[in-house]
Amino acid sequence: MTDPSTKRSERRAKNRLEAFSDGVFAIAITLLVLEIAVPDVDGTKLLSELLHERQTFLAYFVAFMTIGAVWIEHSALVDALDHIDATFMRLNLILLLFVGILPYPTGLMAEYRYDVQGERVAVVFFGVVLLMQTVMLFVLARHAEREGLFGTDVVDERLEESRVRYQLAPSLIMYAVATVLGLVLPYVGLILFLLIAVYLAIPLHTVRRLLRRSA
């Protein structure tokens, strides 16, 4: 049985973790655009060259939306916490590992877009990274709930539990399906990754509320 005094000594403020995490998210998003090379063509051919690179822009947009969605989910979780512990900090580092590496498979998809075999590997690699990001968000939320990191705020804890159940859990399944599809149909897998990112970034309840207002 854990000594209560030990538990108290492990309590840590979340400010530094939040600031460090936001920095990693910002750098990862910035690195994405560096993967897009400026075309070295005559001005009369620039438009056709940009259209030729449409899959590169699609990969960038999917990765951007995904990192943005993960940041939103991570921010919602950390905001709801009363404090963090040493284990939460280490689990958070693993999440940031997968966030930081995302520009690499994004670049691979752009590089191997005309190589069928290479494109499949790149899309699956991309999908595995996205899947692991969601897994780590799920693990962080479960750890926070199990260790009482929400403090005495029952409302925040229940909201986080609901978010995990109705948003993160379905996206975990969808990422797994999209990754498997990417092994056979890379472009379909990429489109599914985009739809999942939009689903995470714009929750359905928000869309329903907006539709009700417009009606």
DSSP string, 97-112: HHHHHTHHHHHHHHHT
* Domain extent for 63: 11-214
Nearest-angstrom CA–CA distance, 60 and 83: 35
The pLDDT value recorded for residue 208 is 55
176 within some domain: yes
Neighbours of 177 (CB within 10 A): 13
State both tokens at 181.
């599809």
Is the CB of residue 102 less than 8 Å from the CB of residue 116?
no
6 within some domain: no
Is the CB of residue 85 less than 8 Å from the CB of residue 130?
no
Q: What is the mean pLDDT of the chain?
A: 82
Q: Give backbone dihedrals phi and psi of 114, rounded to 5 degrees, phi first.
A: -105, 5
Nearest-angstrom CA–CA distance, 93 and 38: 33
The pLDDT value recorded for residue 35 is 73
The band of 145, judged by pLDDT with boundaries at 50, 70 and 90, is: confident
Q: What is the pLDDT of residues 55-76, one digit of tens each?
A: 788 888 889 988 988 898 899 8
4 within some domain: no
Mean of pLDDT values over 18-37? 89
Helices 54-80 and 103-111 pack at an angle, to 10 degrees, of: 170
185 within some domain: yes
* β-bridge mates for residue 12, sequence order: 84
Nearest-angstrom CA–CA distance, 4 and 46: 66
111 within some domain: yes
The pLDDT value recorded for residue 6 is 40
The pLDDT value recorded for residue 9 is 45
125 within some domain: yes
The band of 3, judged by pLDDT with boundaries at 50, 70 and 90, is: very low
2 within some domain: no
Higher pLDDT, 23 or 7: 23
Considering its fold, how many domains does the chain have in total? 1
Considering only CA atoms, which of 204, 201, 207, 205 is closest in space to residue 64?
201
3 within some domain: no
Whether pLDDT at 94 is above 80: yes
The band of 5, judged by pLDDT with boundaries at 50, 70 and 90, is: very low
Whether pLDDT at 41 is above 80: no
The pLDDT value recorded for residue 206 is 58
